[in-house]
Amino acid sequence: MDKKQKMEGARAFSRGVARHACPHEAGTIEFQDWMDGWAQQKSADEAAAQLFATQMQFSRAS
């Protein structure tokens, strides 16, 4: 496993690149790693957004 493709996928998500725009050939390890990085970044961003929303609710309730 090469972390380079995972990092590329994560950066692509952060830049707004669509998942289907993976530059690697489907079925390759590079493709899977890029897709994993993209999906992991999406999950991390969603978790951060949820945490922020929860914190905002608590701060308003105080």
User: What is the structure's pLDDT at 62?
Assistant: 66
pLDDT of residue 28: 97
pLDDT in tens, 21-49: 999 999 999 999 999 999 999 999 999 99
**Against a cut of 0.85, is the pTM above it?**
no
Angle at 39 between CA 44 and CA 22, to 5 degrees: 140
* Burial of 40 per CB tally in 10 Å (0-12, 13-18, 19+): middle
How far is Cα 54 from Cα 27, in angstroms, rounded to an integer? 39
Q: Is residue 1's pLDDT more than 60? A: no
Task: For 3-25, write each residue's pLDDT tens digit.
Answer: 999 999 999 999 999 999 999 99
